[in-house]
């Protein structure tokens, strides 16, 4: 099992360009989320999804769009990249019980994005 | 407003000694607390968790202590090993388990 796969691992963009960060999971987890990691800031939640067709905003959603058409995939779109979006991005999944998601997150290996 | 704080950005410990990583939080409604370990160029990996109704959880060399009155939790690693050198993130969950709040991380260096 690959777990949570993120592509690309590295990306350099110019201000104003758009791109999509891919996240795919083979764990059959309903819950998926995107985080960004910045120095001195820890990991901050961007968007999350509780299942196919359902997404919601996290702590820092501005400048990012998401969609969830399948259980396996949860892409993160930057419509017009800005230098403030230079960061390391992590996709994560959570399993579920009858009562909702479990507490443990499984992370991908990350995408390092630089916006010039 | 940083609801989960790790005030020590770094920590150095001799191999075989105890490592103690600390975390403070402000929201008494958090349901679960977790510790994640992160190596360079990798995603964080789950280490250990504790429910807000408990005060201690142990897993091998790792023990997490929760002091609800002080809104403080700590991770003890005994004995510390060079492979434990990594960044450790404290995290807290508030209801529904979907929104996880992370601390800023503590970089642990275990010196052989």
Percent of chain A with pLDDT over 90: 76
The per-residue pLDDT for range A26-62, each reduced to its tens digit, is 998 989 999 999 988 889 999 999 889 999 999 899 9
Residue A99 above 90 pLDDT? no
**Nearest-angstrom CA–CA distance, A35 and A27:** 19
Convert the pLDDT of each residue in B64-90 to its tens digit: 999 999 999 999 999 999 999 999 999
* Contact (CB, 8 A) for A18 and A115: no
User: Which residues does A51 contact at the CB level (< 8 Å), separation at least 6?
Assistant: A30, A31, A68, A71
> With 90 as the cut, is the pLDDT of residue A23 above it?
yes
Residues of chain B short of pLDDT 50, as ranges, are none
Instruction: Please give the torsion angle defined by the CA atoms of residues A115, B1, B3 and B6, in that order, rounded to the nearest 10 degrees.
Output: 60
Q: What per-residue confidence (pLDDT) applies to A96?
A: 72
- How large is the average pLDDT for residues A2-29? 95
Please judge whether A42 and B34 are an interchain contact, meaning their C-beta atoms are less than 8 angstroms apart.
Answer: no
Residue B45 with chain A: CB contacts under 8 Å: 107
The string of DSSP letters for B14-26 reads ETTS-EEEEEEES
Q: What would you report as the CA-atom Rg of chain A, rounded to the nearest whole angstrom?
A: 14
B8 interface with A at CB cutoff 8 Å: no
């Amino acid at each position: 099992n690959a777990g949570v796969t993120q592509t690309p691992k590295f990306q350099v963009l110019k201000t104003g360009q758009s791109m999509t960060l891919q996240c795919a999971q083979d764990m059959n987890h309903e819950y998926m989320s995107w985080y960004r990691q910045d120095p001195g800031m820890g990991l901050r939640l961007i968007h999350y999804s509780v299942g196919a067709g359902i997404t919601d905003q996290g702590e820092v959603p501005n400048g990012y769009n998401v969609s969830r058409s399948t259980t396996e995939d949860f892409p993160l779109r930057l419509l017009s990249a800005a230098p403030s979006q230079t960061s390391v991005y992590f996709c994560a999944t959570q399993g579920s019980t009858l009562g909702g998601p479990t507490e443990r997150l499984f992370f991908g290996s990350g995408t390092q994005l630089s916006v010039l | 407003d940083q609801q989960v704080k790790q005030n020590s950005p770094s920590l150095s410990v001799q191999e075989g000694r105890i490592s103690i990583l600390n975390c403070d939080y402000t929201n008494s409604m958090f349901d679960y607390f977790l510790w994640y370990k992160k190596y360079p160029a990798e995603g964080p990996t789950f280490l250990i968790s504790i429910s807000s109704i408990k005060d201690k959880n142990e897993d091998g060399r790792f023990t997490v202590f929760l002091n609800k009155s002080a809104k403080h939790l700590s991770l003890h690693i005994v004995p510390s090993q060079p492979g434990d050198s990594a960044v450790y993130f404290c995290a807290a969950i508030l209801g529904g388990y979907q929104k996880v709040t992370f601390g800023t991380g503590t970089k642990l260096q275990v010196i052989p």
